[in-house]
Structure 1
Amino acid sequence: MDTSAYIASGILELYVFGLLTEDENREVHAFAVQHPEIDAEILDIEKAVINLSYAVSPQLSAANYERIREKLIEKHGNDTIPLHPKPNKTAQYLGWAAAVVFMFGFGYQYIKYNEATKEVQSASAQRTKFEQLLAQSEKSNKAKDQALAVLRSTDNTIIKLEGQEASPKAYAEVYMNKTNGEIYVDVAGLPEAPEGKVYQVWALKLDPLTPTSIGIINDKDENGSIFKMDSYNGPQAFGITLEPAGGSKSPTLEQLYTLGKV
């Protein structure tokens, strides 16, 4: 058997990288047992792959890389590592080793890229959540400032609405500005509206009884308890009823929760 030609064929590199069939692997192993030079060549290939792997590893310093490179140069007896394969030298499999090392290095960089991408996405999600909380806080503060302005205004006439048969313990207050005609209602004394229901505020003329809707109470918890209603000239009373979502054209008297005269 011409062992030099066998070594130069490249089959040993394929053997080291696990690219042969089972039958071919058994054949190479058998030849390595019979021919020490083939066995030595396999060991050289494996050592070179390990050395190159460590040489490009991100954990190694430049000094370690240079020491490994010098050892390879010393082994080949040249000032530079051969770039072209020679039939009887380990340089013939440097290309294979470099390809494998590149594959592992690329995989490492890909993992790091994915980790960095996830960190950016997580930071973006946290920022979005923070912006939402900030917006909610600003909205809540605005509602509180508005409520304080309404309560403190000396131009307001305060109409107290007492609980009715549908909810005797309920109560509310209407703030009617005598200067600009704005109307606000404080519904802190109303129970939570059942799902699918809303409170509707009515301005009333009493003789004859003529109700006019001036607004629907939505998102009581989110907006606080004071709501701005539509303006209405000359109301004689105010009432609040519980209505289906979206409101009603006329009040459901059986669901009259509060009522108060101006």
Structure 2
Amino acid sequence: MENKEYIESGILELYVYGLLSEAENVEITNRANNDPEINAEIIAIEQSIVSLSSSFSPFNSVSNYDKIKNELGLREEPKVVQLEPKRSISPYIGWAAAILLLIGIGFQYSQLSSSNDQVVNAITEKGKIEQELNTLTLENKAIESSLAIIRDTNNTVVALGGQAVSPESFAKIYWNKDSQKVYVDASGLPEPPKGMVYQVWSLKLSPLTPTSIGLLDNFVANNQRIFAVDATADAEAFGITLEPSGGSLSPTMEQLYTLGKV
């Protein structure tokens, strides 16, 4: 800082008044020792104080006046309080701008995080919708297949009524005698207990000869309850029994749920 700015800052007055810190006093003392202009200014300030004091204290004795004058004018290293230089507003503007910038960045980050969350949610919802659409597509295909079987006039429909173990049960057989394909509508059967499975039998009646033509696996997962089983050419009746998982070699007649003649 130039001497003119330094002097005009008011720090030398505070130095003379003893209002600066020790470190600031040392700094100004060193500068006064090395700079005649600064030292002269300090002396001038001290002399002004002496003159001002004499004007406000006319009744002081000559000895007291001289003592004060000597203490102020003749000391080699006056104790000076360093004034804080006039602060520019620029640093505060800089700090304010930095704070506003941080707030802006925080807001933008918050908005970006919110946008990212919305994108993730949208992708998740899109995945759910696609999954539901695929499920509906598969269900529609299953319904269409079921309807095609039911509406096929080439199929012989065999109604199977409930038996002693489950009188309320019923089922239908759709049998194409030409292609020998057999479909079972098991919507009238209760859900099989765990570890058990329904087994479908093609029957010759005289003598009674049962032939297994398939198991109704994945009973719960099959919403339409229409199952394709093995082909048969010469059935005279069809029956459905409840058997242990994996099926049986011969039907368990005590677990005969439905039976019907062709």
TM-score (norm 1): 0.58
Pairing 1:214–2:236 present? no
Partner Cα separation in structure 1 for residue 193 and residue 147 of structure 2? 28
Say whether the 8 Å CA contact 1:181–1:232 is kept in structure 2: yes
Q: For 1:10-38, what per-residue CA distance to the aligned partner results, in whole angstroms no more than 9, with x for missing partners?
A: xxxxxxxxxxxxxxxxxxxxxxxxxxx98
Query: Cα gap change, 1:208/1:256 in structure 2, threshold over 3 Å: closer, same or farther?
Result: closer
Partner Cα separation in structure 1 for residue 114 and residue 230 of structure 2? 54
Q: Which residue of 1 aligns with 2:230?
A: 230
Partner Cα separation in structure 1 for residue 230 and residue 105 of structure 2? 66
Runs (5+) with no aligned partner, structure 2: 1-18, 25-82
Pairing 1:187–2:186 present? yes
Say whether the 8 Å CA contact 1:140–1:222 is kept in structure 2: no
Pairing 1:145–2:172 present? no
Give the % identical residues: 42
2:212 maps to amino acid: T
Residues 25-36 of structure 1: matches in 2 within 5 Å? Answer: none
SS at match of 2:241: strand
Partner Cα separation in structure 2 for residue 127 and residue 252 of structure 1? 50
Say whether the 8 Å CA contact 2:165–2:256 is kept in structure 1: yes
Q: Cα distance, 1:143 vs. partner?
A: 2.2
Say whether the 8 Å CA contact 1:216–1:247 is kept in structure 2: no
Say whether the 8 Å CA contact 1:214–1:231 is kept in structure 2: no
Residues 54-65 of structure 1: matches in 2 within 5 Å? Answer: none
Q: For 1:42-64, what per-residue CA distance to the aligned partner results, in whole angstroms no more than 9, with x for missing partners?
A: xxxxxxxxxxxxxxxxxxxxxxx
Q: Which residue of 1 aligns with 2:3?
A: none
TM-score (norm 2): 0.58
Say whether the 8 Å CA contact 1:203–1:214 is kept in structure 2: no
Q: Cα distance, 1:185 vs. partner?
A: 0.9
Q: Which residue of 1 aligns with 2:62?
A: none
Pairing 1:177–2:164 present? no
Alpha-carbon RMSD across the aligned residues, in angstroms, is 3.2
SS at match of 1:124: helix
Pairing 1:118–2:128 present? no
Matched residue count: 184
Partner Cα separation in structure 2 for residue 228 and residue 149 of structure 1? 13
SS at match of 1:167: coil
Q: Cα distance, 1:195 vs. partner?
A: 4.6
1:119 maps to amino acid: Q
SS at match of 2:162: strand
SS at match of 2:167: strand
